[in-house]
Structure 1
Amino acid sequence: MTLLEQEISLFDAKKYDLNREENFELVTTEDGKLIKTKERVQHHGEVFTPKWMVLKMLAEPAIQKKINDLHATFLEPSAGEGAFLKEILHQKLNYVDEISNKTNWKENALWALMSIYGIELSVDNLMKARAAMIEIFVNHHQAKMQQHLSMNSDLYKATKYIIEVNIVQGNTLEYVNNQGQLIEFSHWIPVEEKVRREVFTYKSLFNNGDVEDINAESGQLSLFDVEDNNLENKYKVCPVTKVYKEEKVND
């Protein structure tokens, strides 16, 4: 048996049954293929990262230190179906499981999720990555709480929303999405036990003299030091489980 065949990933959707009665446990699946079609490799350079390589890269001590930090951010600029995103989320939630009780698990888990960002050119890959991350989060919650996570709950809605905001479609080389709009991300800032959301563009992270973006200041390469004084773009400070409501300051 080859090494690749021995590797496992994080979640098996076929085993995920909302109506099952046995105890909830973390579950795994076999790894996927490295390519979908030769045409996609030729046209997009699409080759998926094998699980063993993901694990090896994330095992670096400096990376592990960041994984064990709820607010340390990760950005995958070519996310594919989420090989790195899924494993980073899984390992961060393992850390959350260790440091949290049932009272503060939700907040800590959402902070971990907020720290993970990704960009993917292909819409079908993007949808798979998002879906896998939701299932990983749900699986960890159910294993920790030993109860179902309702799709109508604030926690599920916040989880789905954060993933949709943080894991986005776009072309990292051109800084735009399929609609020709600049790729946007959100900085989730802790304010006591709540969160303040600030929107910024992916392009603003780079020191490009030709950047046509008010948030892209020449001479800077920083994740979250852009200030936007437009009140229309300001979000209210709110509990982390309520971010999906998107309440603005001037609402």
Structure 2
Amino acid sequence: MADERLIKSRLRVKAHGEVFTPRRMVEQMLDLVRPELETGPNFVDKTFFEPAAGDGNFLVAILRRKLRAVERRYQPGVWPTESLFALASIYAVELLEDNHRAAQAALLAEFVAFHQRVGGACGVRTNLYRSAVALVEHNIICGNTLTGRDDRGRAIQYSWWHRVLNEPAMVRRVAFTFDSLRDSAAGRSVLDFPPQHAYAVCRIDHVHKEVRTDD
């Protein structure tokens, strides 16, 4: 903890206001929402959004807590499914490209480390790993939260990963724009679901295949 680095350079602080949150403070803040993360009903599916992800310290801490709760509260047979839904519940935007890459890598590393520790198969060729990569790529975006644009200037889009009723391993992916989420939260509009992004219902560990309804 003593060598924890809170800034990368004074230039980045001046240019972007970049200062990282200490790990101790991250844990204290997450303690305030422990029911949503670990103990309450439907904790796996409770969504979290980080508008300035940095190198992913909040994201990793959120996932770690969720995965530990999955391990405590569920039977081993459903750990792969529940761990993917836990990962699918975490969203973020990060402005700086190097931080964005670091945040994605850290989140994926935490996911893989969990399965390695509990003895699960999560090699790079498994559906579990490939779907984890897809979820991280779709949920952790390089862009600007204030403008709602990604690093290519396009409107940021996310997806809800809805469980299918009575089929716990199945997911229905529904794309939406970040701007519409922000406007909906402010009571100005409803979510905008682009019709061209209609995905087929599939197993959560098959989302990397991205099968469309018109395929």
User: TM-score scaled by structure 2?
Assistant: 0.91
Partner in structure 1 of residue 54 of structure 2: 80
Report SS of the residue matched to 1:81: coil
Report SS of the residue matched to 2:159: strand
Q: Please tell me whether residue 39 in structure 1 is matched to residue 15 in structure 2.
A: no
**Aligned pair in 2 of structure 1 residues 56, 131: CA closer, same or farther (>3 Å)?**
same
Q: Please tell me whether residue 237 in structure 1 is matched to residue 165 in structure 2.
A: no
Q: Following the alignment from structure 2 to structure 1, what is the Cα–Cα distance between the partners of residues 82 and 138? A: 18
The number of residues matched between the two structures is 208
Answer whether contact 2:177 2:191 (CA < 8 A) is retained. Answer: no
Report SS of the residue matched to 2:99: helix
- Structure 1 residue 181 displacement after superposition: 0.3
Q: Following the alignment from structure 1 to structure 2, what is the Cα–Cα distance between the partners of residues 59 and 52? A: 11
Report the residue type matching 1:236 in the other structure. Answer: A
Which 5+ residue runs of structure 2 have no aligned equivalent?
none
Partner in structure 2 of residue 64 of structure 1: 34
Q: Following the alignment from structure 1 to structure 2, what is the Cα–Cα distance between the partners of residues 116 and 102? A: 22
Once the two structures are superposed, the pairs formed by residues 167-246 of structure 1 within 5 Å of their partners are 167-191=140-164, 192-193=167-168, 194-207=170-183, 219-220=187-188, 226=191, 228=193, 230=195, 232-246=196-210
Percent of pairs with identical residues: 38
**Aligned pair in 2 of structure 1 residues 78, 136: CA closer, same or farther (>3 Å)?**
same
Q: Which runs of 4+ in 1 moved over 6 A?
A: none
Q: Following the alignment from structure 1 to structure 2, what is the Cα–Cα distance between the partners of residues 112 and 217? A: 22
Partner in structure 2 of residue 9 of structure 1: none
Which structure: larger Rg? 1
Which one has the bigger helix percentage? 2
- Structure 1 residue 201 displacement after superposition: 1.2
Q: Following the alignment from structure 1 to structure 2, what is the Cα–Cα distance between the partners of residues 229 and 179? A: 19
Once the two structures are superposed, the pairs formed by residues 25-36 of structure 1 within 5 Å of their partners are 32-36=4-8
Answer whether contact 2:176 2:194 (CA < 8 A) is retained. Answer: no
Q: Following the alignment from structure 1 to structure 2, what is the Cα–Cα distance between the partners of residues 43 and 227? A: 33
- Structure 1 residue 178 displacement after superposition: 1.7
Q: Following the alignment from structure 1 to structure 2, what is the Cα–Cα distance between the partners of residues 70 and 147? A: 19
Which 5+ residue runs of structure 1 have no aligned equivalent?
6-30, 208-215
Answer whether contact 1:93 1:109 (CA < 8 A) is retained. Answer: yes
